[in-house]
Amino acid sequence: MSFNSPFPDVEIPNLSVYDYLFGSIAEADLDKPALVDGSSGAVTTYKALIGQINGVAGALAARGLELGDVVAVHSPNVPAFASVLHGILRAGGTATTINALYTAEDIAKQLTGSGAKFLFTVSPLYPQAKAAAEKVGMADDHIIVLDGAEGHPSLRDLLTEGAPAPDVSFDPSTHIAVLPYSSGTTGVPKGVILTHRNLVANVAQMEPRVGIDTDDAILALLPFFHIYGLTVLLNIALKLRARLVTMPKFDLAEFLRIIQDNKLTYLFIAPPVAVALAKHPMVDQYDLSSVHTIFSGAAPLDEELGKAVAKRLNTRVRQGYGMSELSPVSHAIPFDRDDMPLSSVGLPLANTVNKIVDPGTLEEIALPTEGLSEPGELWVKGPNVMVGYLNNPEATAETLDADGYLHTGDIAVVDAEGVVYIVDRLKELIKYKGYQVPPAELEALLLTHPDIADAAVIGVIDEAGEEVPKAFVVLQADSKIDADGVMAFVAERVSPHKKVRKVEFIDIVPKSAAGKILRKDLRAAESGK
């Protein structure tokens, strides 16, 4: 049985992203800081940001950018990212954001797949960007190095040209705004087609739930090149005229210093950061009392871990759920719902409809009158659902059905109020003797052990040919626990079929830039042994 969001529908204006975010900005907001470079303290006001956006748009149009042309953005979190991304959209182009950790080969694949005509990068990432551009035959004058590199235009060059932003007209419901590539945690990354309406809709849907106001100072650590950072930071925060403080990469001491020195109030994080906030002794050396809310996404946050963070920092902790294909947020624990279990991902956002579907029979699972429903795959329909995958009709048909529901690939349960709990990825469930074992559940349990700094779990084939749960464990400094101790710890706390039956100690758990465990990398390493 389908169930609607409990929230009233929100209005979704028929506007471009630029017009929605900046078209009606109040005069009083123009001199407010929009972005602050966390490293240098340099401030970009809303007035300066809008000027830069228009400058980038004009410079691209003067270089021949036409409506619908694709421009690649390959950069860590720096304030200029906002000027470039929104400049591309302002000019009627389509931005494809590239993971800052990509190799030249990865970049070249995305440039080719997306059909990008221009590439923005930064000098620290220039070698791999240049190599990729050469591989696809992109001219040097189409490679813009934000902070400058010989033989290429810089951002300063574009802005000082003074070319006016072009007059463009397009249908926000069909014109492609961004082409992020899905994280590839379970397969080959695919270009996700998101329109201006998709992005505008998700900001409108999220705005009433997150509790951000114009006085908030928000940490911009989550990568802007990932749709989580792009929508929740670059779009929602800017729409609400908050102040974004950027971090190009995670370093715990710098992270804590930036929070303290900038009196940040709102942190958007992924679970690996929550682990550090809950467990690392360095946290006690900094004043984090300005933080009133921490919102976790991109991967499941364990309830006990979230509670440990909330207690240690005396702050509100929330989590949500989404994916690139959902622009990305579809569920969230509202900022004003202290009673909602942190083990959940909260309620469906406004304007959406959900189903929980048995993946074997495709029968809809009923909403319970009490307790939790049976588990099934979560399906979502709403204005934030992608158009499809770029040049991949087969993958699109597998994910989007004729009724407009996106099949998330995640196993979920729901309670009588419509609160959704994610159990695990459909493709990542371990099948042990016919039982389904969710890796995320075991990972969350392992993280409660004081000697364990991080953990990941996958299914491996044992000597008898049976798939069994194997834990990859990162130990805390001076830890004395061994493999038998890890297995015993889990065995005392789970059903027999969920026991961890193999353990390997590693230095670091491989994760995407957004904080998702890259189980495919662990599986690849395992198969290579």
Q: What is residue 16's predicted lDDT score, i.e. its pLDDT? A: 98
At 188 the pLDDT is 64
Cβ(501)–Cβ(486) below 8 Å:
no
The pLDDT, as a whole number, for residue 496 is 84
Query: CB 149: neighbour CB atoms within 10 A?
Result: 18
Other Cβ atoms less than 10 A from the Cβ of 521: the count is 16
Q: How far is CA 78 from CA 84, 95, 222, 366, in A?
A: 11, 17, 11, 46
Cα dihedral across residues 458, 319, 368, 202: positive or negative: negative
Q: For residue 184, what pLDDT is reported?
A: 45
| Percentages (nearest 5) of helix, strand, coil residues in the chain | 35, 25, 40
Strands 435-437, 430-432: pairing is antiparallel
Q: Rounded CA gap, 198 and 443, in Å?
A: 33
Helix H or strand E encompassing 432: strand 430-432
pLDDT of residue 185: 42
Taking only the tens of pLDDT, the chain with its 529 residues reads 799 999 999 999 999 999 999 999 999 999 999 999 999 999 999 999 999 999 999 999 999 999 999 999 999 999 999 999 999 999 999 999 998 988 898 899 999 999 999 999 999 999 999 999 999 999 999 999 999 999 999 999 999 999 999 999 999 999 999 999 885 444 567 899 999 999 999 999 999 999 999 999 999 999 999 999 999 999 999 999 999 999 998 899 999 999 999 999 999 998 889 989 998 999 999 999 999 999 998 777 889 999 999 999 999 999 999 999 999 999 999 999 999 999 999 999 999 999 999 988 999 999 999 999 999 999 999 999 999 999 999 999 999 999 999 999 999 999 999 999 998 777 777 878 766 688 888 998 999 999 999 999 999 988 867 789 999 999 999 899 999 999 999 999 987 888 999 999 999 999 877 677 888 889 888 877 7
The residue count for the chain: 529
What's 110's DSSP letter?
H
Specify the pTM.
Answer: 0.85
CA distances from 390 to 73, 91, 110, 395 (A): 17, 21, 11, 9
> Would strands 192-195 and 176-178 be described as parallel, antiparallel, or unpaired?
antiparallel
Q: What angle (nearest 5°) sits at the alpha carbon of residue 106, between those of residues 521 and 123?
A: 115
Residue 434 is predicted with a pLDDT of 64
Q: How far is CA 370 from CA 1, 296, 334, 384, 414, in A?
A: 15, 27, 21, 30, 10
Query: Please, are residues 230 and 180 in contact by the beta-carbon 8 Å criterion?
Result: yes
Sign of CA dihedral 466, 468, 472, 473: negative
| 3-state SS, one letter per residue, for 147-168 | CCECCECCHHHHHHCCCCCCCC
Residue with tokens 């299914």: 459
What is the number of other CB atoms lying within 10 angstroms of the CB of residue 63?
A: 16
Alpha carbon distance 269, 441 (integer Å):
20
For residue 525, give the amino acid letter.
Answer: A
CA angle at 48 for the pair 47 and 53, rounded to the nearest 5°: 100
CA distance 221 to 210: 17
DSSP at 141 = G
Residue 61, token pair as written in the block: 């149009």
